[in-house]
């Protein structure tokens, strides 16, 4: 391994942003891009405001002001490279978020200062814990009425069972939010508001006892700040990088993404705190980034990033070795060699051809229809990685084209959106051309219907079905009933659909030796 190769590894940080819906995740992503210099002005997730954001580039995302798909942005900042992966906050798209978390080395946990830790945050935190991902916390929306900072820290510790160590301290909240005190450099970062938060907020640094700061805050607010900071230093723990990487503590930053207060120093701290690319647990053991062979895996598929070409892009995390354009690697699932001629650097919807990439990088690969989520490419020995999460759907519908034609574009749309994971696709056991789609939540169906029309020019009707449970059959024994509904998943495996838990449990009791699985047999080791 050369010094140049090692340097490229240590320059990289790959992280995801997780949160409960509406905590400001996409806005924070946009502001990190602004302060890194990747964009000149920031977009806004609110409909009709300024311009679209980098991460929310789909029409339905811009229309609704929500993220429905994970995105990636590669930026350079201060001689470092950050691969920032934005994730959907809505629980209906948790599977996409969980897959993205397979591809990162650390995560930013975003909290709403007025609400603290919320339900979806708890679920995502657990996923990070299970994967050994250290978490950096950003408490957002200090520009609005907020809970007391001590209360917020206590909330994190009690709900998530992790020690919260403040790295910055907020000065005021709501309209009185003026900036943050940096514990390390012991300086007050005093901010001024900009119109719509599109541009960097003017800032000056000052000693907390500076007379101008005292006058700006007022005697009462200044006295409270001094008192709070004295308590912070006496009562709260100091930061330890070792404890952070061991997931015993989470460093906490306060700020307001919409006004840009506290974003720049947070970005600078990410470079220092976030770990360099880590090894990956595989069937052959841990694969180190410094390994002398190239390897990586696909964690996401995305259709129609370029509407003119109706393309499909595989999001690929490099685990080890150097990637070079035009290289040949083995696709282990098929056993075939593939030539990687068109690798992309991804920046939201935009991409450009790249010639090389290194461990930690997330790149895009043109998918000719052979790649799937979880696939491994490597120039080394054969191996596999842990199965990606898959959620059993609870909502079902038949997809019927309004014009009655099962056209090429209709079939392509169903196939590609299913491959992407917008919904799960099941086929009819008896060869009917009418596909059956299944989803975890209602919003998935709405997104599927909208994208079929906007991206494939196919107006569809969704005929809802009464099923609530999908189960794969483990073994050769089928339920002793001719009235049940069966279907085939995307790989031709038989599933049985039930209307309720009661119906499912009834058939388990009535059929000796029947085994029903929430996941395909190979994913549960059957």
- What pLDDT digit, counting tens, does each position of 391-435 carry? 778 899 999 998 888 889 999 889 888 888 888 899 887 778 889
Residue 310 has pLDDT above 70, yes or no: no
Whether the pLDDT of residue 445 is over 60: the answer is: yes
Report the relative pairing of strands 80-86 and 12-19 from DSSP bridges: parallel
Answer whether residue 326 shows pLDDT above 80: yes
Mean pLDDT along residues 121-148: 94
C-beta atoms surrounding 210 within 10 Å: 16
Task: Output the pLDDT for position 525.
Answer: 47
Q: What is the pLDDT of residue 312?
A: 83
Percent of the chain exceeding pLDDT 70 equals 90
User: Which tens digit of pLDDT belongs to each residue from 333-381?
Assistant: 899 999 999 899 887 677 789 999 999 999 999 888 889 888 999 999 8
pLDDT at 167: 97
Ranked by mean pLDDT, the top range of 12-16, 339-343, 366-370, 444-448 is 12-16
Query: Which residue has better confidence, 96 or 249?
Result: 249
pLDDT of residue 228: 92
Q: What percent of the chain shows pLDDT beyond 90?
A: 46
More confident residue, 171 or 216: 171
Average pLDDT, the chain: 87
Examine the pLDDT at 304 and tell me if it is beyond 80: no
H or E segment to which residue 417 belongs? helix 408-420
Find all residues with CB under 8 Å of 224, minimum gap 6, and list them. none
DSSP state letters, 94-154 = HHHHHHHHTT-SEEEEEEETTTBS-HHHHHHHHHHHHHT--EEEEEE-TTS----HHHHHH
Q: Which of 117-131, 244-258, 384-398 has the highest average model confidence (pLDDT)?
A: 244-258
* Residue 400: how many other CB atoms lie within 10 Å: 15
3 state SS for 227-291? HHHHHHHHHCCCCCHHHHHCCCEEEEEECECCCCECHHHHHHHHHHHCCCCCCEEECCEEECCCC
Kindly indicate the confidence band of residue 456, based on its pLDDT and cuts at 50, 70 and 90. Answer: confident
* pLDDT band, very low/low/confident/very high, at 57 (cuts 50, 70, 90): very low
Q: So what's the pLDDT on residue 41?
A: 67
- Residue 87's pLDDT is 82
Question: CB count, 10 Å around CB of 217?
Answer: 21
Lowest-confidence pick of 87-96, 242-251, 333-342: 87-96
pLDDT in the model for residue 352:
86
Per-residue pLDDT, averaged over 156-161, amounts to 97
With CA atoms as reference, report the closest residue to 439 among 453, 457, 426: 426
Checking if the pLDDT of 45 tops 60, the result is no
- pLDDT at residue 388 above 60? yes
Q: Which of 192-201, 237-246, 422-431 ranks highest by mean pLDDT?
A: 237-246
pLDDT at 518: 85
The pLDDT assigned to 373 comes to: 87
Query: Measured between alpha carbons, how far is 516 from 95 in angstroms, rounded to an integer?
Result: 21
Separation of CA 29 from chain center: 11
pLDDT of residue 214: 86
Question: What is the mean pLDDT of the segment spanning 274-302?
Answer: 92
Q: How high is the pLDDT of residue 355?
A: 94
User: pLDDT, tens digit, for every residue of 94-109?
Assistant: 778 888 899 999 999 9
| Residue the block writes with tokens 């609870």 | 394
> Which SS3 state, helix, strand or coil, does residue 498 take?
strand
Sign of CA dihedral 432, 433, 434, 437: positive
What is the torsion angle, in degrees rounded to the nearest 10, for the CA atoms of residue 129, residue 96, residue 264 and residue 164? -20
Provide mean pLDDT across the span 199-216: 84
The pLDDT value recorded for residue 53 is: 55
141 CB neighbour count, 10 Å cutoff:
26
Mean pLDDT highest for which of 190-194, 219-223, 308-312, 497-501?
497-501
What DSSP element (H or E) covers 4? helix 3-10
What is the rounded distance in angstroms from the CA atom of residue 412 to the CA atom of residue 107? 35
Predicted TM-score of the model (pTM): 0.84
**CA distance linking residue 383 with residue 329, whole number of Å:** 13
Looking at the predicted structure, is the pLDDT value of residue 21 above 70?
Answer: yes
| Structure-token match 């607010």, residue found | 221
Asked whether residue 74 carries a pLDDT value surpassing 90, the answer given is no
- Indicate if the pLDDT at residue 163 is higher than 60: yes
CA dist 321 and 344 (Å) reads 17
Average pLDDT over residues 239-256: 96
Q: Which domains does the chain have, with CATH numbers?
A: 3-273 (3.40.50.300), 286-378 (2.40.30.10), 395-523 (3.30.70.3280)
DSSP 171: E
């Amino acid at each position: 391994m050369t010094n140049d190769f090692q340097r490229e590894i240590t320059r990289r940080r790959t992280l995801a942003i997780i949160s409960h819906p509406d905590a400001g995740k996409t806005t924070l992503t946009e502001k990190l891009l602004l302060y890194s210099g990747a964009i000149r002005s920031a977009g806004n997730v609110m409909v009709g405001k300024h311009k679209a954001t980098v991460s929310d580039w789909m029409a339905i995302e811009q229309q609704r002001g929500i993220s429905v798909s994970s995105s990636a942005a590669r930026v350079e900042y201060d001689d470092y490279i950050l691969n920032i992966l934005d994730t959907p906050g809505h629980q209906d798209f948790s599977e996409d978020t969980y897959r993205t978390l397979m591809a990162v080395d650390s995560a930013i946990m975003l909290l709403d200062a007025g609400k603290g830790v919320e339900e979806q945050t708890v679920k995502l935190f657990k996923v990070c814990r299970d994967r050994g991902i250290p978490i950096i916390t950003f408490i957002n929306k200090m520009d609005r009425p907020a809970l007391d900072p001590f209360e917020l820290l206590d909330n994190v510790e009690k709900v998530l069972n992790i020690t919260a160590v403040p790295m910055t301290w907020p000065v005021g909240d709501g309209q009185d939010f003026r900036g943050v005190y940096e514990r390390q450099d012991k300086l007050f970062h005093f901010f001024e508001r900009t119109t719509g938060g599109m541009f960097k907020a003017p800032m000056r640094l000052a000693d907390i006892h500076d007379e101008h700061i005292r006058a700006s805050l007022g005697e009462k607010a200044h006295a409270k700040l001094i008192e709070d900071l004295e308590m912070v230093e006496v009562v709260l723990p100091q930061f330890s990088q070792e404890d952070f990487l061991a997931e015993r503590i989470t460093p906490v930053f306060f700020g307001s993404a919409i006004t840009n207060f506290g974003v720049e120093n947070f970005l600078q701290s990410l470079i220092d705190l976030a770990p360099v690319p880590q090894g990956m647990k595989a069937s052959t053991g841990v694969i180190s980034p410094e390994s002398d062979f190239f390897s990586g895996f696909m964690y996401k598929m995305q259709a129609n990033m370029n509407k003119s070409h109706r393309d499909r892009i595989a999001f690929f995390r490099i685990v080890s070795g150097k990637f070079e354009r035009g290289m040949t690697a083995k696709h282990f699932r098929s056993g075939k060699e593939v030539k990687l001629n068109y690798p992309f650097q991804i920046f939201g919807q935009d991409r450009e051809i790249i010639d090389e990439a290194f461990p930690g990088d997330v790149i895009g690969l043109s998918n000719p229809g052979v790649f799937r989520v979880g696939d491994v490419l490597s120039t080394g020995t054969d191996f596999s990685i842990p199965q990606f999460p898959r959620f059993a759907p609870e909502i079902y519908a038949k997809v019927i084209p309004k014009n009655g034609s099962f056209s090429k574009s209709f079939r392509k749309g169903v196939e590609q959106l299913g491959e992407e994971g917008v919904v799960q696709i099941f086929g009819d056991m008896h060869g009917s051309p009418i596909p059956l789609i299944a989803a975890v939540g209602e919003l998935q169906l709405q997104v599927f219907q909208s994208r079929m029309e906007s991206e494939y020019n196919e107006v569809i009707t969704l005929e809802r079905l009464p099923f609530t449970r999908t189960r794969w059959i483990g073994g050769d024994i089928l339920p002793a009933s001719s009235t049940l509904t069966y279907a085939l998943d995307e790989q031709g495996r038989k599933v049985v659909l039930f209307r309720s838990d009661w119906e499912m449990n009834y058939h388990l009791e009535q059929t000796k030796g029947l085994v029903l699985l929430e996941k395909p047999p190979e994913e549960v080791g059957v």
